Structure formats: structure tokens, C-alpha cells
Amino acid sequence: MQNVSGSSAGSTLDAPSGKWALVTGASSGLGVEFAELLAARKVNLVLAARRREPMESLAFELRRKHGVEIHVEPVDLSAPGAAGGLKEKLDAKALRIDLLINNAGFGLHGDFLDTPLARTAEMIQLNVTALTELSYVFGRDMASRGSGEMLLVASLLAFQPVPTYAAYAATKSYVLSFGEALHDELRSRGVVVTTLCPGHTETGFDAAADARVSPMLRRLTMKPRPVAEAGLSALAQAKPSVIAGLLNKVVAFSNRFTTRSMQRASMRKVMAP
């Protein structure tokens, strides 16, 4: 893990003894990386995702390697009310969450009108509504005791409109704006909120989105471990947001010098297989 010197006082990453982190989307991709990095730092884990088997396998391995406590909670967060139900289950088990990794989400590739509306609505429910509800129910607990941390996972696509990823990019724009606003709202109440913006990353995202990777996008692709490290490092330093990867930072910064129409045209080329 990256050096986290200069981190905020009371960070779960600096004082992990007895602390619990909830990782959503913990059955694959970045969720697995977050779980492994946190377990290595002796943070106890609640793993939440739809599929039980991969989480149980991950939990077994992390308990064996790091001796941490791990609770596996199968849940479909795209179902209405699932976030609140998860909170109630953890309350019933007296599991107090000190760190929320709001990572669950998926994308849909293709023209908006060619994508089933029900599938788009499911994505919005997970990427936006469930993330918001989780931030609310766990954020209230954190604020009431004057400590806690939340890492929200947005995307590099949050910085501009993206044809063929229209709804997905819009959900991630919401996450970035929401997360940075919460950073300012909650810091006076002892809660750190950081938003991570990954670029294209080697996870199961493309397969789930039914997307092929263009040669240009392939050159920007990062491994998932340094992306997760960047997010946790920024959280430990109480940053409002972070873009993972130097090239991705350049891409986001370049938007300041281009028109919205140029951004759309550029992203269409980048996303074209």
C-alpha cells in the first residue's frame, strides 16, 4: 500500500484495532482489492455483494492470511430498500461500521435507446440510489459519534458527457458531485468523505457492460490494485477526491480547455472499439 503519512487523525487505516469496514461490490474487481488491502492492515470486514460463494472464498483466504474478523452479507443492493435492510442486519449483529467503501456499481454500454429501460433503471438504483442511501444510514451513525470515513467510487467518465455510456457516466457525475459536497458537509462532524475516480481498470466491468475495449482505451488501462491503493491513500489524507493514474489526471485536466462538444466527440472516439 502507498505511504499514507500525513493522514487524518483517527483514521481507521492508522488505528485499525477493533475497527470494521463495509465493502460493497466485494465479490469481484476493485471490491476484492479494497478487502485485501484493508485486511492486510488488520481492519475487520463486512463483505457485501449479490454472490455469496466468491465472498466466502475471499473471506476464508483473508482470515487465514491476516487473522481478521470477516462477516459475509449477500445482498442485491439494486433492489429498493436493500441498503436500509443491510444496515438493520448489521445493527442486529452489533457491527458498527467505521469505514464505508461505497464501491458497488455497474455500467451499460451502447446507445441509450437501444438499452432496455429496466436495465438502465436498475443501474441507476445501484449506482445512485443505493450509494446515497448507504451514505445516509451509515453517515448518520458516524456523525453522531464524531468519527468515520467513507470512500465513494465514481469514475473518470464523471468529468464529461460520454456517448454510448450516457446514463452510466451521468450516474458517476452524480457520485463525484455528491461525494465532494459531503466532504465539506461532514468534515466538521468528524467524518471524512473521499471520492475515487478510476479510469479504465482491469476488472469485470467490460464484460458486465457488454463492451469491447478500443486500442486507445487499452493504453489507459490500469491494474486494480494501484487504483484501490490510490483511493485508500487519499482517504487517509482526508482528500475530497482523487483521480487514479497520471494519464487519467491529464485527461480530466484537459477538459478545462475544451468545449463540451469537443469532449463528446473525443469520448466517442476513445470508446469506439
Nearest to 148 by CA among 86, 84, 102: 102
194-241 pLDDT tens trace: 999 999 888 877 666 666 666 767 777 889 999 999 999 999 999 999
Nearest to 24 by CA among 106, 113, 92, 94: 106
Q: What are the residue numbers of the active site? A: 168
25-66 pLDDT tens trace: 999 999 999 999 999 999 999 999 999 999 999 999 999 999
| pTM of the predicted structure, to 2 decimals | 0.89
pLDDT of residue 272: 66
Residue 115 CA from chain centroid, whole number: 24
CA–CA separation, 23 vs 104, rounded Å? 8
Nearest to 12 by CA among 235, 228, 244, 227: 235
DSSP line for 204-222? SHHHHHT-PPPHHHHHT-B
CA–CA separation, 86 vs 102, rounded Å? 13
Name the average pLDDT for the chain. Answer: 91
Confidence of residue 11 (pLDDT cuts 50, 70, 90): confident
